Structure 1
Amino acid sequence: MSTVFRNKMIDNCCSSVQSSLSPPILSAEKSTTENVYNRKMSISSLNTSPSNNTSINPSPSNSFASLSSKSSTTSLKEPKKSTATISIEEITSENPCLTCQSPCSIHPSYPSNLKINHEANLGGTVQPHARHIIISTGKSDWNKVIELDSGNLSAVLYEYLQKKRDNKDTKILITNSNRQNSTLPFLTFFSFFGNDILIYPDNLIVRNVSTGKVEEFYDQFLSNEINKKEIVKNEGYNFSTERIPYKAVILICGHKRRDMRCGVAGPILKNEFEKVLKEKRMDLNSMGNQGVPVYLTSHVGGHQFAGNVIVYRNGQGIWYGRVTPCHIQMIINKTVIEGKIIKELHRGSMFDDKNGQSTLDW
């Protein structure tokens, strides 16, 4: 499909909905953004996105079946045994409104001197890992290496894992997130009170995990074989657990102390994801725990491919790279709702086999 023809399709399709989108960024505004970035804006000013309070609230009565922009009866589709893939060209042919003109005058753009690797092949750039541990910290400004952040839950857990791990080939990925605790969120910053931990692929929230309970946490939730359908619930442990209630979870690397590329791209993507989810009434405010939260996380690998996005939904863990605000609509419609993998953005998944196919069965 030629670029001229593609842009004409997008113009015809989207001219009627321009008023509902964010206003174009003026060239002066872009120039200002780049100048600020070139002057090495302070760390605190880079993270313009507020903390996301995700306290567990009763779900509203409106159904998640109204999420699709095409039909009021479309809901999150269950993934098939082999996950379907789709190209950006195919998405444009199906619905030009899900893609943008090149260059785009609607969405915010990254500073021009943000060095993103556009040459390397994205496929196979995810380090294989058996579990993903996501710690709720209530903030997005973490030290450069969270595993060495003495006294914090991430460091204590990482140290214990190094001692206990029998199979060196089995890796557990630990990341911090700006998610707040479901109960007593004002205490999220103080890890000695205990933090919520999200565990994939087990699809669990474990509460009240403090630095002093790391050994118990490991024994109950991490020492089991990864393919077990149910975590054995031993008695005598001081944790509250529940299945992760969200229809999907979107994670975005925003670890600015580790790499400025994700530090810049992360908050921009988070704001855009939240805006589109709100428009579609898929956010937590609209849907309660049946909605889709968006969290900034610490280092997940591949900063050269910023923005880095992970989508967990219905037993899928899909990693994307080189994501820009222009990709948000198609990720939500094609990946979050339909469960399809966008070829050009796909980095990989947990337990990818040699053919790049996920072998997880959650």
Structure 2
Amino acid sequence: MLSRVRTHLRVGTIQPCRSLYSTIKTIPFDTQPFPFDRFEPCCPAEDTAPSSNGFVPCKKHPIPAVLGRKIDMTESMTGRLETERHVVMCVGPHGKEWERSKVEAVVDGPVYASNQLHSQYLRSPAHRNSDAPPTDKDFLMTVCDRPPQDSPATTTASCDVMVFPEFVFYPQVDPSRLAESNVAQVLETLWKNPSSSTLPYVPNQTAIKDEEGHEVDAVVLVCTHERRDMRCGKIGPLIVDAFKNSLEHRLQNSNKKVLVYGTSHFGGHKFAGNVIIHQKGLGGHMYGNVRDCMVDNLVDRHILNGKIIKELWRGLVTPPSLKC
């Protein structure tokens, strides 16, 4: 979901403070053709004719044909609403959000709490009397299945928060006390200006780390939100497993640390599988029409060699940096 921070009360906009990617022409797209077309299988089933939408089953990586026939492989995937940051609430695999089609409908969840706090912010005198011009930018907010730090796997009493492109981590945030938490300062900064060059320092914040305590270089987020749409719900977990298996082998001789999680809806289920890769120095990039057949090539080209796959690209989620 998007934060919906737009409140066009005054003329003018806050200009984004981006570095590196000033235009689409500066994005490091791979100059070599990707070996797959959109949603193309690596091992086409020779005894099955393509469906009317172009879907062809894969002998090595099967998916239900009834879902494959509902994938859009022709409409343009670019043109999504531009965002500046991505806020990810880590609710774990047992979070109530996975039981609902809309994560903001979970009344004791962090996204609901954030929306409530945002409504209070919009009504506050500090906001209404502000001389700051409105912004036409926004930020993306989703949940993911990373277990909350130091919390039992079956509870959602607290969550952790990740913010990109900073790769900053805020542990143990209680949604019921969000307004009193230090993270509220971060959210208010983003509501004022998603392009802000700095975020408030929070005493217990850290870099995003793996289970061994190493700072990570990239985080892969795959839409697995089955209650929102069956296409991502069935195809997404296959892609998550493919990324984990591929990274285990391809990073053996690399110092890169990469995490992979399932995430909630972020738009475009008809373009399943949907993937966001946040990587230091590259920013966050969204891909669509991904099959698990393609994951090895995505790891090699994007994560290991820093090249963006234009054939599958849906747009920029975050720039590499927002510092001036």
- Taking structure 2 as the reference length, what is the TM-score of the superposition? 0.71
Match of 1:154, SS?
helix
Task: Please state whether the residue corresponding to 2:83 is helix, strand or coil.
Answer: coil
Q: Displacement, 1:361?
A: 3.9
Q: Retained in 2: the 8 A contact 1:282–1:292?
A: no
User: d(CA) in 2 for partners of 1:153 and 1:359?
Assistant: 26
The number of residue pairs the alignment matches comes to 260
Match of 2:88 among 119, 134, 150: 134
Given candidates 270, 275, 278, the residue that maps to 1:312 is 278
Moved over 6 A (4+): none
- Aligned partner letter, 2:42: C
Q: Deviations over 1:232-270 (max 9, x none)?
A: 326xxxx62112221100000000000001001111111
Q: Is the contact made by 2:34 and 2:311 (CA closer than 8 Å) also made in structure 1? A: no
Q: Please tell me whether the aligned partners of residues 142 and 255 of structure 1 are also in contact (alpha carbons under 8 angstroms).
A: no
Amino acid of the structure 1 residue aligned with 2:90: S
Q: Which residue of 2 aligns with 1:121?
A: 76
2:186 is matched with which residue: 198, 221, 238?
A: 221
For the pair 1:90 / 2:33, whether they are aligned, the reply is: yes
Tell me the secondary structure at the aligned position of residue 341 of structure 1. Answer: coil
1:270 matched to 2:235? The reply is no
> Is contact 2:108-2:176 (8 Å) kept?
no
Note the aligned Cα RMSD (angstroms).
Answer: 2.9
The answer on 1:291 being equivalent to 2:291 is no
Which residue of structure 2 aligns with residue 112 of structure 1? 65
Aligned residue identity for 2:220: I
Q: Which runs of 5+ in 2 are unaligned?
A: 1-19, 46-56, 128-133, 209-214
Q: Counterpart of 1:278 in 2: which secondary structure?
A: helix
- The CA deviation at 1:348 is 0.2
Decide whether aligned partners of structure 1 residues 264 and 105 sit closer, same or farther in structure 2, where only a CA change above 3 A counts.
Answer: closer
Equivalent-residue separation in structure 1 for 2:196 and 2:236 (angstroms): 34
Structure 1 regions of 5+ residues with no counterpart? Answer: 1-78, 94-98, 352-357
Q: Partners in 2 of 1:211 and 1:319 — Cα distance? A: 28
Q: Percent of aligned positions with the same letter in both sequences?
A: 26
For the residues of structure 2 that align with 1:307 and 1:176, how far apart are their CA atoms? Answer: 17
CA deviation string 1:122-162 (max 9, x = no partner): 112x3322321111111163311111111112211122223
User: By how many angstroms is 1:228 displaced?
Assistant: 4.4
1:220–1:272 Cα change, 3 Å: same
Match of 1:100 in 2: 42
User: CA offsets per residue over residues 147-194 of structure 1, 9 Å max, x none?
Assistant: 11111122111222233256474433221111012x3142x54333x2
Is the aligned partner of 1:256 residue 2:194?
no
Q: Secondary structure at the match of 2:107?
A: coil
CA contact (8 A) 2:231 2:269 kept: yes
Corresponding position of 2:211: none
Structure 2 residue identity aligned to 1:84: P
Structure 1 residues 80 and 259, CA gap change in structure 2 (3 angstroms): closer
Q: What SS does the aligned partner of 1:272 have?
A: helix
Using the size of structure 1 for normalisation, the TM-score is 0.64
**Mapped contact 2:137–2:195 kept (Cα < 8 A):** no
Letter in structure 1 aligned against 2:301: K
- 2:258 is matched by which residue type in structure 1? V
Residue matched to 1:156: 113
Gap change, CA 1:133 and 1:282, over 3 Å in 2: farther
How far apart in 1 are the matches of 2:21 and 2:90? 31
Contact map agreement 1:158 1:174 (CA 8 A) in 2: no
